[in-house]
Structure 1
């Protein structure tokens, strides 16, 4: 079978929607993101038999790339199309100076994990994301200095467990910058007895639409706290969302005892999010 990988075009949307919507029982975010994808990063399409049968998107930040939205028409799977698309993103981003490409795979996606390993990706971290509705408790969180906060969290078990990564509101994960000059979000600190006991990197808000429900979310892409203060910190994060008139707080935390503390503080956790990466030589 003759397969051609090329840059995506606006007119590919109908064909992409046709095979993407079959991925998650009739709905997929890819068609909604198509226009944004064409304006940002690298979006590729694989053609076979005269029509698009696969797509993928890659976006870069400094020397890192994030791979997302890999979709292949079910009639053309196991034909090397997914590999060709991923190779295309790796090659294009390498030309832009990227040294590592990452992506996310969820629990139960055994086929996806097997594929990633077959093309040279290895698991580097596992995170859990939890959602807690804004709680009218109040918040003692306050703005914190990024560089000083980084000194506190770097070397902690939490920072090492997530491989120094943090999540953004668009569900991508990047290395925590070495200085505030490379960070565009907020840093929130929890202070008790005159000492910083908890730190959260906040990437702002996002809109979560499920059916007819539309909720705002405050996204905290890395959360660390001293063990004895985790529960209080978790409640304050919910209170922070409420004070900002945001429906929910979404936290990304290591897959450790922190999950239990946030769960007891009213957060709902679902799947494990596994982060895979491929280092480009």
Structure 2
């Protein structure tokens, strides 16, 4: 018999995750994407459960109280929620587990005051995209990473303006603002996008603009410096920048140099900046000879105002 045939047909329930759920969750998430080095859920499960509180809730779906699915909701502001980490035990697919988990996140988020819930799905993840649409998430934005190489000697051809208000003004008046619906990386939750405000930029590690003698022409902000393993299993330090906006490829070249120098000053070996996935932005990166990632990612949104 297959795993699906031997799986219990007891009712599916949802509840908050517990520390003792770890073994079961790790078992069905360990090999989600073996070609990408595995899933991140086994690495973060303990932290997720430990840090659950008013602004975060990790849910599991259970059959006979055995976890067979997981998803987490997080509040990014007083009205923005984020859903992430949706996984289902392959032996229990077809049991409406993903919808039950998503509904649990929606209810918790709406009860916590959120009027919108967003998520992010890799563009190549057909199943994730289909399930998100089935659960009421609507397409919102598309982004890609540009990846300037950290260089201590990088010398931007434009002036650097360390002013969050100037950076916000550049973003607010840019096509990047329109394409990304005003979103950039959240300051606390990695891989989550939230509405960029002047307050958020002021609280970031560093928000700056690049400018000529007449006006500011590009901007970004640094969200975090972190370590991750490279393809050889060795740790690398990364600097991450929450969004990029610029006028033209010359401005992007200067912005890339500013990031390269800033990241090097943080001791980073790699850097990346979130940018809109449009022909103009991606071709600007190619024209400016700034590396970029192979695939875009999609952001989707669910309205919770009538939930």
TM-score category of the 2 structures, normalised to the smaller one: over 0.9
Cα distance in 2, alignment partners of residues 61 and 93 from structure 1: 11
Match in the other structure for 1:29: 40
| Contact 2:162–2:208 (8 Å) recurs in 1 | yes
Identify the match of residue 269 of structure 1 among 293, 298, 303: 293
Q: Which runs of 4+ in 1 moved over 4 A?
A: none
User: Are positions 1:184 and 2:203 aligned together?
Assistant: yes
Pairs within 5 Å for 1:239-250: 239-250=261-272
1:125–1:161: 8 Å Cα contact kept in structure 2?
yes
Q: How many residues align?
A: 280
Q: Which has the higher strand share?
A: 1
Question: Which of 223, 229, 250 pairs up with 2:244?
Answer: 223
1:271 Cα deviation from its structure 2 partner: 1.2
1:144-155 equivalence runs, <5 A = 144-155=162-173
Question: Could you list the per-position Cα deviations for residues 1-37 of structure 1 after superposition, in whole angstroms to 9, with x for gaps in the alignment?
Answer: 4011001001101000000012112721111111221
Change (3 A) 1:246 1:194: farther
Matched, 1:12 2:21: yes
Kindly report the root-mean-square deviation, in angstroms, between the aligned alpha carbons of the 2 structures. Answer: 1.9
Q: Equivalences for 1:166-185 in 2 at 5 Å?
A: 166-168=184-186, 170-177=190-197, 179-180=198-199, 183-185=202-204
Any idea what the Cα deviations from partners look like across 1:37-89, whole Å, max 9, x if unmatched?
12131100111144110001111022111111100000111210000001001
Change (3 A) 1:181 1:276: closer
Structure 1 unaligned residues grouped into runs of 5+:
none
Match of 1:46 among 43, 57, 61: 61
> Which residues of structure 2 form unaligned runs of 5+?
1-8
- In the alignment, is the contact (CA less than 8 A) between 2:174 and 2:246 conserved in 1? no
Shift of 1:156: 1.9
**Separation of aligned partners in 2, 1:142 and 1:193:** 11
Question: Do the aligned residues in 2 keep the contact of 1:168 with 1:219 (CA within 8 Å)?
Answer: no
TM-score using structure 2 length: 0.85
Shift in Å, 1:180: 2.1
TM-score by length of 1: 0.93
* 1:161 and 2:179 are equivalent in the alignment: yes
After superposition, the Cα gap between the structure-2 partners of 1:233 and 1:149, relative to the gap in structure 1 and judged at 3 Å, is closer
